[in-house]
Amino acid sequence: MIQSLVQMIQPKENQFRQEKIIYDNGKRMLEKSLSEKGGMEYYLISKKFIKEWKYYVDYDNEMEEIQKKNRQQPNTMNSDLIKEEKIIKYIPEYHNYNSSIRYLENEWDYEYVIREVYEIFLKNYQSIEPQIRVGFYNDNLKKKQIFPNLARFTLIYMSPINQELNKIKAQVDNNSEIKAWTNLLRDTFKEMFKQKQINNVRIWSPRHKTFKADQLIQEKKKIKGIDGEIINDNMMVFEMYSQRDQCIFVDLELNEWQFKKFEKGLQYDCQLLFEKALYGCGQIFCEFPQCRLNNGYLDLGLGQEDIRGICQVLIENEEVKWELMCSKQINITENLQPYQQRIRKNEIVQYLLKISNFIELFGMSFIENYNKNQGIQKIDPENPEVNSKLVYETAIQFDQQKEYFIQVIKNLFQKKVEEIEQLKNLYELRALYLILQFKNCLNVILEEKTQIVLTIVRRLSQQQLTQLSKWLRKLDKFEIKQLQLIIKNQIEKQIKIQTNAPIRPFLEIEDIEKMKGLFELYSVIYKSNIGNHRIQSSDFIINSIQFFYKQDGDREEFSQFQMFNQKIWRNYSFTFCQYPWAMPIQFKNKLLYIECKIKQYDQRRRTLGILPQYISLTIERDNIIESAINQLQQIQVSLKTPLKVQFVNEQGVDEGGLKREFFRLIMEKLVTPDYGMFISKNNDTVFWFNPQSFEIPIYYQLIGKLLGLSLYNSVLLDVRFPTVLFKKLRGEQVNEDDMKELDMETYTGFQFLREQTDPKVIESLSLTFNATYKVWGQSYYEDLKPNGNQLGVTIENREEYIHLYTDWYLNKLVQKQFELLRDGFKSVVDGDGIKLFSGEELQSLIIGLPTFDMKDLESSTKYNGYENNSEYIKLFWDIILSLNIEMQKKFLFFCTGSDRIPVGGLKSMKFVIQKHGQYTEQLPSAHTCFNILLLPQYKNKEILKEKLKISLDNAEGFGLI
């Protein structure tokens, strides 16, 4: 029976083995072909299919037997990519530009495969025809590029049969030449009109690019020509493509060309512009500056002849943007008024359903101080001017009728989602902003199956995302906190769903898109909070991220992070590392550790294991700096390699304790005033660069290397460097707030200067654009700008003075010293992992957290020889918790060799209390390398307290037995 079962399984395993070999060979051939010239075809395959297939065939050989029984055969190859929308039907089926639109939301929704791989999938699995793309060789880049993005156009053409003007949609690769496309169109129209001899095709671009097809057809009939230009065949499609479904004319050459250029004159243009200026277009919103909606001529009391004269001057001076020319719209809103002008309160919901069909009108309906006589309301990019009270009152109406609010969302945005359009102006963006204000309906919106709002958010440009964050700055603390919590809860809910996914997380493209949309929205809120601080940055952290993957989650996340940075979309799904400010620092620290280990492994592999696994330093205590410099300069391996330290003429194996002592001693020596590299600032609370230092550059570089080495060796440094130093190491912008930690007197002086409203008070200060500083009692002066000592600070130029002084103090004054330190740091720390950390987080990783709670250590401690709930252990912790901060730090130093607090706090430390004798007189001791306290059991609390005090008061070195 077992033999027959093996015979049944074997053919399937052989098939899987063959598929994996063909797939791997195909990947290698694909990568090679991308660097060579040639016309190889590539097939687009759904990434979802590839993921399912890899799971099905156990591609990574990690599947357990019980999992193999439950695996399912992958679904169709690209069913999640195809969107049927027939256009020019007569393009040959196997032509490069085939006849159905397949819209890909993101470049990583699919994978390219070569024909052999496609055919093996087609043979063994259910499938539909995938889309074929062709790689274009880029001579400048010396490599092949594949352009999946399609431009869409509405073509207007004249039928050679009945001379009627018709319209039809078409698509083409953005990076195709116009000439290649016109050749395709020529073949297409030949097929359409076989009875007519079509010699060639050319494309006209109309002057008025905002006109719809029907309007252009009417214009063509009216003026008996085309008001536009013929597109140059040598152009690329993206050079002419300005908006989705842009209308163009296709001109067929029979015996002669069908269309001729309309020779417009000054009189024609004047009349055209005059009609728009006098009568307008009747739309809710118009981008044409000269439209009646925008020009304000009638409000100024200008007569018709005055307006006609203005139009003529504008045309003569070529100041008219004809491409924005608006066209007449009749009854576009069925005479609907903005929501504020509604007549009966009991019709609120129904009225909103009506106006939600007009996105700009909806956006106008909740603005403050609406005046219906002023026409369109100009939008302030700094302030959306939303009537919050009106939004709140309206939201109450939807509390019991949320299905109607979903319909409002569909009316506003569904068409844009289906047509794959972005929001096109601030008036439409304000409608999205308004929707986010309906917080009692927001959960329903975000959970709505079709993800309309999240799709719109994902498609916002960077400029639109920035604009949205600006508007959100206007919300008060309660409002922004409400919004932030809703989005955060939605993200945590999705994380929970994906964590419990039956196969693996992020298998479905829709799940990736939803998470991406939620995080983009969350990011907008985060950035708005930076501009107007109302929420603690720590409140944006989502702790469940670190538990997202069931096994080796940090490795999986780091792999996704690498693929994202390197734009390797083949196996990419999603990485939280796009939003590092939302990730717990402990998790980011794991990723940094993994990156370090990977680079160490790669280096050893490249050298066939010849390089040592550790950097070994033999240090002379009396000559610690020079011996460290000499040895670090001679090391050939990466400084990310683990460090081991041995002190000359001293016994002991470095299990962590000697390394910690080395860092403590050398940093203590380097920042001492004897070396003159740093000076104490702010009442001796921090050390900062000495701008008059004459120390040799290698010493500053050494400090930078030590900062990096401590990071990769998990050693916390006892050095009082300010946060601004670590912000500069991360390349963050520094500002006057960073002065507080260095020079509180100067910072408060800035605040006093800014608060003055009387110019005479500022003049009485006699400040000039000159700065002064002292080093060991000696004063030095520098101009902040040329001849600054002769330029006084006034109420008008005080902001410039504060900005220049801050930049000089934090950057220019210490530029040479900082750059040397930074170079040393970068010689150790590089790669993508460090990019995840802010300056403050980097400071926490290197010098530890500023505060701690000893109860965290108590809760995480393990015991050997004692019970955690015994009376003796309770007495011990009562004593430790009653100590002051300084003595508690001494206790930490005694037990671990460092009083610095690691990221994650004391609860993240592995700490053990081990029984070491009973009723003895010996003092407590410690194995600091392993964080083990050797604690004898004394007769009573008084003896225990006394022995601990003696040990802590005399703690030196590591307390080794």
CB 734 within 8 A of CB 810: yes
Identity at 660, one-letter amino acid code: R
Token representation of residue 69: 């029984």
For the sheet with 110-113, list strands across it: 110-113, 41-46, 132-134
CA distance 890 to 896: 10
Cβ–Cβ under 8 Å, residues 19 and 117: no
Three-state secondary-structure class, residue 451: coil
DSSP secondary structure of 605-637 = HHTTT-S-SSEEEEE-GGGHHHHHHHHHHH--S
Nearest to 628 by CA among 711, 721, 703: 703
Q: How far is CA 677 from CA 460, 718, 819, in A?
A: 49, 17, 14
Pairing of strands 615-619, 862-864: unpaired
Q: 3-state DSSP: the chain helix, strand, coil percent, rounded to 5? A: 50, 10, 40
| DSSP collapsed to 3 states, 791-814 | CECCCCCHHHHHHHHHHHHHCHHH
Answer for the pair 465, 427: CB distance below 8 angstroms, yes or no: no
Strands 200-206, 136-138: pairing is unpaired
- What is the rounded distance in angstroms from the CA atom of residue 227 to the CA atom of residue 327? 14
How far apart are the C-alpha atoms of 868 and 877, rounded to whole Å? Answer: 11
Q: Are 217 and 166 in contact (CB under 8 A)?
A: no
Gap between the terminal Cα atoms of the chain: 65
Place of tokens 């089926």: 93
DSSP run (H or E) holding 528: helix 509-531
Residue type, 693: S
Q: Which helix (H) or strand (E) holds 927?
A: strand 925-927
DSSP of 351-416? HHHHHTTSHHHHHHTTBTT--GGG-SPPPBTTB--B-HHHHHHHHHHTTT-HHHHHHHHHHHHHHH
Residue 929 is among the residues annotated as catalytic for this protein: yes
DSSP per-residue string spanning 455-503: HHHHT--HHHHHHHHHHHTTS-HHHHHHHHHHHHHHHHHHHHHHHT-SS
Residues 6+ apart with CB under 8 A from 97: 91, 171, 172, 173, 176, 181, 184
Segment (H or E) for 892: helix 885-896
Give Cα separations from 23 to 117, 287, 758 (angstroms).
6, 52, 76
Q: How far is CA 832 from the centre of its chain?
A: 14
Q: Are 253 and 200 in contact (CB under 8 A)?
A: yes
Quote the tokens at residue 731: 């390349």
Alpha-carbon dihedral angle through residues 568, 569, 575, 578, given to the nearest 10 degrees: 70
CA 360 to CA 857: how far, in whole Å? 58
Nearest partner of 542 among 592, 582, 494, judged by Cα: 582
Residue from 441, 577, 895, 929 carrying the catalytic annotation: 929
Whole-number Å distance between alpha carbons of 245 and 126 = 34
What single-letter amino acid sits at 845?
L
Which amino acids are annotated catalytic?
929
